[in-house]
Amino acid sequence: MCSWACSARGSVSRHFAAGTLKPLALLSPRRSAVAPGIPTTAEAGLPRAVSALRFLMFAPAATPAPVITTLHAAMAATLAEPELRAQLVAAGFDITVTTPDEATALLRAERERWAPIIPALNLSLD
């Protein structure tokens, strides 16, 4: 019997290690530092099948720039703590700290990517 599923890598990585599941490809734009042997969907011949899990921190639009700078520095410092990094890597996460401008650009790009698809699915953006 052959079946497939799309799951967060961290939730199934122990099955990969045990050999009970075989990873076919990551939906991320680049290979994972945690699992460099798993090809991306682009490498597997599906270049448009990309949908990486991301965690972003948000603040109200009117938040002053110095506050954003302080929050960003605190988050970057927290994610640099060796014990936390080790726990996140053990859970299967690749840790990437972006700037607020990079996060904004990422969100805009994702909106552009998904905006034409959403009406076809009869969904709306709130």
Helix axes 82-90, 65-79, angle to 10 degrees: 70
CA distance 67 to 75: 12
pLDDT in tens, 37-86: 889 888 989 888 887 778 899 999 999 999 999 999 999 999 999 999 99
Is the pTM higher than 0.85? The answer reads: no
Whether residue 100 contacts residue 72, with contact meaning beta carbons closer than 8 Å, is answered with yes
